[in-house]
Amino acid sequence: MTRKTPTSSITLEESIGDFLLRRLREVGLAHVFGVAGDFNLELLEQMESADGPKWVGCCNELNAAYAADGYARTHGLSALITTYGVGELSALCGIAGAFAEHLPIIAITGAPPISEIARGGLVHHTAGDGNFQNMMECGRQFSVAQARISPQNAVVEIDRCLRACILQKQPVYLQLPSDLAHIKIETPQAPFLVTFSSDTEMLEDFVNTAVQRLAASRSVCILVDSDVARFQQAKKVTELASKLGACIAVMGTAKGVIDETDAHYIGIYAGAFSQPGIQAKIEAAECLIQLGVRFIDSTTGSFTEHIDPERCIQVNSWHGRVQNDDFQGICMVDVLDRLIAQVDPVPEETQPAKPAKIEVQSSSQLTQGWFWHRMASFVKPGDVIVAENGTSLSGVAGMPLPSEASVISQALWGAIGYSLPATFGSLMAVPERRHILFIGDGSFQLTAQELSSILRHGLKPIIFLLNNGGYTIERLILGENSSYNDVQPWKYSALADVFSSKDDHNSRRVNSISELETALAACETPQKCILIEVMLDRMDAPEALKKLGKAYARQDYGTTWMAQNENRLP
């Protein structure tokens, strides 16, 4: 009798580059962002003839990293290819942002030939000192796994790094020397699979402890942060809230993660900067379930939260805590499944009521207050809303969202200019969803070139460019009339004509409510890329941002400085 060879042990002979590309296909990537450079050209040539993923070239490496970030938020995973030194360091700000905000990006850099690395050759795109560890060390600071690929380690290290990226939801860093991409090695035929289960006993202990804590509490609330989105657990959270009769609040970093039309959703918790009623409800709960929560200055009104950790059940990506007991080796996904199965349902009449919504008064002028009130009725179910830091993010944070709408922002890392290339990346992942970008004029100037990539690929976002004459978010902290907060005025509505000679865009500037309403009429189902430049007063901003500006000034420079420089503050 002959023994059949297990599928998992069947091997192929393929080049290192082809194996890497096959693994990217197997984890579901249809696109890879980046910029070509001589150390990655062989890999890109292999991509040209492969069945996927498709190469998406960007205007520069920083924009490519931001595009990969946006793609990862919508798709769940992304990849980036740059060249050594000049390319990867240009992208590093975007990779660091993804590291901070828990986004899985496979960052691949084409390195000099392995022979030059071995002898410490003085080659271009290096510091000319023979050091080939410095770039690896830079990448190591903002990734959860790293490897320099060789023929001997390619299979093991590529699979190890991909697994870490997918499970830990943070970037990984792969160096592929230029002369190795075409080298053939023996590779497994079996497709790449990632499986993980929590430690059974630890999970049991944690869930039992949590259920006892919940049963002994007369009031329960749930506080959500962005890891709920990274692990795609939003629907489970609302299911758990329904069984517990618990209200759900989100951190500013998780705006749009929970369906805001759900009966249990009450709004954003931001410490003392929360909307009326939300801070009191969250901080008074006898038991607060925290899901991946991180209290950072930009989402807590400069650390104005007052939450007793003794009252909390903390569920993080891969560990949990109840009072003083830590539980390692448990996954948020498994914890939510078990809690839903084991908690006793609460009668319907005890379900929480939403706080009253704040009504915004109508205006005869085009102001920030009126604009965001109007945008709340403009947004549709299923839209992807991208918000740049500053007035845009503050405005979106206070705007109620319809069902299935999602938000892309970078509230923690906070790199200005991020949102335009992130919109491009998200559009490449889901072009069928309507994308609405809100970005300020100062931020737009940092990454404006990526508008050309949007037009190049025939994408159709709606871009609201909020022109308030410079860095209003900084003016609200310090330097209301200082030159360092000014930017050169551009003819923003003319830029699409510069980046494309086709009839694939519609741009205009609006100065009044009537002009804006006329422009909005063309946006219901956009057939072209639409850019609407909205002219606003320089110091006009959402009220929440004005308060935050003062809080930042106090946090950054101190109370004594504030008192001494009161006449310099806005």
The SS3 assignment for 510 reads strand
Question: Could you give the domains of the chain?
Answer: 9-188 (3.40.50.970), 200-350 (3.40.50.1220), 368-556 (3.40.50.970)
- Judge residue 49's burial from the number of C-beta atoms within 10 Å of its C-beta, 0-12 exposed, 13-18 middle, 19 or more buried: exposed
- Residue identified by tokens 């741009």 is 507
HEC assignment per residue over 1-31: CCCCCCHHHCEEEEEHHHHHHHHHHHCCCCE
HEC assignment per residue over 316-367: CCCEEEECCEEEECCCHHHHHHHHHHHCCCCCHHHCCCCCCCCCCCCCCCCC
CB 82 within 8 A of CB 55: no
Candidates 250, 300, 294, 521; CA nearest to 406 is 250
CA 512 to the chain's CA centroid? 33
- Residue identified by tokens 């101190």 is 558
Could you give the residue numbers annotated as active site? 38, 61, 124-125, 414, 441, 468, 470, 474
CB 441 within 8 A of CB 415: no
pLDDT at site 347: 76
pTM: 0.94
pLDDT at site 203: 97
* pLDDT, tens digit only, all 570 positions of the chain: 344 444 557 889 999 999 999 999 999 999 999 999 999 999 999 999 999 999 999 999 999 999 999 999 999 999 999 999 999 999 999 999 999 999 999 999 999 999 999 999 999 999 999 999 999 999 999 999 999 999 999 999 999 999 999 999 999 999 999 999 999 999 999 999 998 889 999 999 999 999 999 999 999 999 999 999 999 999 999 999 999 999 999 999 999 999 999 999 999 999 999 989 999 999 999 999 999 999 999 899 889 999 999 999 999 999 999 988 999 999 999 999 999 999 988 876 545 555 545 454 556 689 999 999 999 999 999 999 999 999 999 999 999 999 999 999 999 999 999 999 999 999 999 999 999 999 999 999 999 999 999 999 999 999 999 999 999 889 988 888 899 999 999 999 999 999 998 999 999 999 999 999 999 987 877 889 999 999 999 998 888 888 888 888 888 888 888 788 877 878
